[in-house]
Amino acid sequence: MKITVMTEDEQIITLDVDPHETVENVKALLEVETRVSLRQQQLLYNGKEMGNAEKLSALGIKDQDLVMMVSNATSSTPANTLGFNPDGSAVNPAAFQQHVRNDSNMMTQLFQADPELAQVVLGNDLNKLQELLRERHRQRSILRRQQDEELELLYADPFDVEAQKKIEAAIRQKGIDDNWAAALEHNPEGFARVVMLYVDMEVNGVPLKAFVDSGAQSTIISKSCAERCGLLRLLDQRYKGVALGVGQSEILGRIHVAPIKIGNIFYPCSFVVLDSPNMEFLFGLDMLRKHQCMIDLKDNVLRVGGGEVAVPFLQEKDIPPRFLDEEKYSKQASSSGIAATSGQTDKKDSLLAGGQSSGITPGTPSDATQGADFEAKVAKLVELGFGRAAVIQALKFFDGNEEQAAGFLFGG
């Protein structure tokens, strides 16, 4: 069919085109006829702009119809300034942004295909636009590489061992990707960070955010926190030791009893004092058991005294940012075992901080764990079926008390 094109300077051009031709191809023909760059052309039919990707028939253009061509002054930017760098960013981000904004058809398509990029194009942050263009380029590169690998495997020699390994790896990866996609749909909370359990308490009248950890054997307080609570004067240094793990922290001693306030009720509590700035106060299993506490995750409360008091666990916004610092917390969590310097330490296999465990290495034994009498006790307990190393360790923990060591071994 034939269409008539009228330019701004009233030049009349007749083109013989196919009804299914795209507007972009028509502009290419006009570029030859008028010497006006394709990028600078703007074609109008019935007063509406024609998009480059649209077909003439879809626009309702028929034989002998008239089309207007005007020069798009805002598109007069040289083509090289609208290009892209090797990393996918625009050579001239301002010119690229203006060019896309002025093409209404392109903006419509962009809002449908990539709303995030469309919003950035309409914004004023060119740095964000460049970063997003780079990200889109990386995504396209990864997709092309995956498609190339899939095509390569499709035509690979089925008897090639290396090709079979790659196919097996691709099948395994697809299973992982499918599992990840299913988790995103059905279990999205699994990708969120789990906030640890904290409650408001008062230690010796001083308000604190207490970290509740049923995986920690003992209740721990830092030296600085104990000093702030006025408890450092009660420190029993006979219980010194070293908390061993991936790192280590010094155990300064033990505070045998001090009042803590949970809700409106006071309870007696004992503490291991740790020289660690990253763990202020940890409410461990010893006091959880002693005061019959229940961690109620359904109602999101800590119940104390068999339910006589219920205090809510803190929301993330109420927890000091330093407590949520994962790097600091991981360092504290790794320093978890105790190497005792006296026989008067906790009588279990580990002191846990943050759910991490490490064995307790006994320190220097007392006089009660020496000589033939000690060996006789070891032999007697070994006859009961316990390992020699475990028996020796238990006897050292209990200063050679055979009955307490036996009760510990039977209870363990």
Residue 171 main-chain phi, psi, to 5 deg = -65, -40
Kindly list the distances between the CA atom of residue 125 and the CA atoms of 29, 96, 138, in Å, as whole numbers in the listed order.
37, 13, 20
Contact 14, 20 (CB under 8 A): no
Contact 242, 339 (CB under 8 A): yes
Q: Which helix (DSSP H) or strand (DSSP E) does residue 202 occupy? A: strand 198-203
Contact 219, 272 (CB under 8 A): yes
Kindly list the distances between the CA atom of residue 11 and the CA atoms of 29, 38, 182, 341, in Å, as whole numbers in the listed order.
15, 17, 61, 101
Site of tokens 């300077």: 9
Contact 350, 357 (CB under 8 A): yes
**Residue among 332, 182, 134, 329 nearest 249 (CA):** 332
Select which of 213, 296, 349, 367 is catalytic. 213
- SS3 state at 178: helix
CA 249 to chain centre: 28
* Paired tokens of 302: 């800590």
Active site residue 213: yes
- SS3 state at 381: helix
Cα–Cα distance, 301 to 312 (Å, whole number): 4
Contact 337, 357 (CB under 8 A): yes
**Residue among 353, 322, 367, 358 nearest 340 (CA):** 358
Phi-psi region of 9 (alpha: psi -120 to 50; beta: other; left: phi over 0): alpha
Task: Kindly state the DSSP code that residue 55 receives in the 8-state scheme.
Answer: B
User: Active-site residue numbers?
Assistant: 213
